Amino acid sequence: MKKFGLIRTALWFTAAGCLVACGDSASDDVAGGVTDIGNSIAGVVVDGSGKPVEAARVVAYYDSWDRTSIKDSVETVTDAKGAFEVRVAGSASFVLYAERDEDCALMSGFGLGAGDSAKWNMTIGERRTLTSRVLGKTAGYMRVVGSGLQAELEENGTFSMEGLPPGEISLVYVENDSAQARLEFELGDAPDTIALPALEVLEANDTWLGIKDFRFYRDEGFGGIQVHMEEGVEVPPDTVLVTAPANLPEGFTYPVLISTVGIDSANMELLASGKAAPYEVEYWDSEEALLWVGVESEDETLAVLRMNGDVKVVGSDSAEASATADSAGLFGRGLTLAPGQYIDLGSLDPCVGDFTISLWTKWMGPNGEHQILVSQRAYWSDSTSRFQWHYEVNHGVFTVMKSMPNYPEAIVFGDSSIVPIGEWAHLALVSQGGVVTMYVNGEQVGESQEFTPNDLSRPVPLRVGGNEVDTETWNGALDEVRIETVARSAEWVKAAYEAGKSFAE
């Protein structure tokens, strides 16, 4: 596949193994201790734009995955048209390598059929850094066949290898000076640093390493890598690997975006950092899906509004209304309310004890009116209002109030500058033990202050994005509104922001 930098025009050679390149010998067509030089390997070396590379060094290294070092080598250089020809021992396994200046390429045969000639085109490019982990291993090292590249395993099985050429790679796990198992893959258009999912020795064939993510085995590969597996070795089913964010609080749910090409949604298994993980689908189409990984605590969660058709939008006349069409959210669909509209949550009451209210918004800034984030009231009075979190236009501040007659008891967190305008921001209001705190993008704004919602004799409506006043609708898009009956820690709020931040960038 051209996307991985290699084009085979013929597949005729005896090598049961490889095609790569790296070496130190300077002479042309030299084979140290190998005297059976009978098969010819020919091809063209080009750069990333397809231009032939003159005077590129091309080396056939006699090596295979079940060895721990290179046995010998034969090398040549390309002509003015980038063409080369090198003769190799007829029965030897070898890897072909090409380099010019800092660019290089590595090619392995991956056990292709026998013959007496072959023509290979090689596209040289920049080297990469590869990181991964071998499950269940605490010692040993990794080596790349046909090169001097090695990387020691840490006690937890992790390793980091610098200088990996693009092309066809045989990556071998070596323990006690004995090759144990290998992973064979093509490295194409990948990032400078590649974090490969954890490797494990396959139970069905312990001479192979595998990845529990079938996307890497598809013809088009995944993330610039396409794993090769010999016929008869079983590849993983529809299993998708994701990496859980570091230092997540217990019970935390977080979003991940995956490619859905070739995935059967009914049979997909999700592994988060190597462990099976439950998930909820935000949306799923033919190209990608957004998943929420983890399990919501029913004891702590009053409402989670994903804005994917799961909310009831009401107008000021109390009749159900439709929201602004095709509102883009941070996580798929969002919601932009028309003037006079709000999200109706009925008689839900987060104020019985501690609570956390959080949401993502793309605020369009002050508009000359009050703007409601969340209200729990029937009207502004001591007997009909529990509390309201909003932008207060008269003083130009974000505030929490009980009711208008008691404005002196309002809690002010800061002016309009504390919430970005025209970009997605994470807002959270935490009430713990009669003290409220506001956060913007994971950081506290203003001071924590004492505040106790009004204690009413009857239930009043809980609304998001507006209230009974037509002009006080929130001026901006809303997404991922969460209302919880627990006071989340500052670390939790920060984690929620960090988990969604990449979607906002």
**Overall CATH class of domain 2-123:** mainly beta
Q: Where are the domains of the chain?
A: 2-123, 241-293, 301-504
**pLDDT tens for the 505 residues of the chain, in order:** 333 333 333 222 223 334 433 333 333 444 433 333 457 788 999 999 999 999 999 999 999 999 999 999 999 999 999 999 988 877 778 899 999 999 999 998 653 333 434 467 899 999 999 999 999 999 999 999 999 999 999 999 999 999 999 999 999 999 999 999 999 999 998 999 999 989 999 988 899 999 988 889 888 888 899 999 877 777 777 888 888 887 788 778 999 998 888 788 877 888 887 778 899 999 898 889 999 998 888 889 999 999 988 899 998 777 887 655 457 899 988 999 999 999 999 999 999 999 999 999 999 999 999 999 999 998 877 678 899 999 999 999 999 998 765 566 789 999 999 999 999 999 999 999 999 999 999 999 999 999 989 888 888 999 999 999 999 999 999 999 999 999 999 999 999 999 999 898 7
Please tell me whether residue 373 adopts helix, strand or coil conformation: strand
pLDDT at 455: 86
CA atoms of 244 and 228, how far apart (whole Å): 27
CA atoms of 239 and 275, how far apart (whole Å): 11
DSSP 497: H
Burial profile 110-142: b = 16 or more Cβ within 10 angstroms, e = fewer? bebeeeeebbbbbbbbebbebebbbeebeebbb
Q: Strand order in 275-276's β-sheet? A: 239-242, 269-272, 275-276
- State how far the alpha carbon of 127 is from the alpha carbons of 50, 62, 103, 152, 464, in Å: 18, 22, 7, 19, 52
pLDDT at 119: 61
pLDDT at 402: 84
CA atoms of 211 and 225, how far apart (whole Å): 12
**What's domain 301-504's architecture?**
Sandwich (2.60)
pLDDT at 4: 39
What is the pTM (predicted TM-score) of this model? 0.67
pLDDT at 24: 35
pLDDT at 241: 81
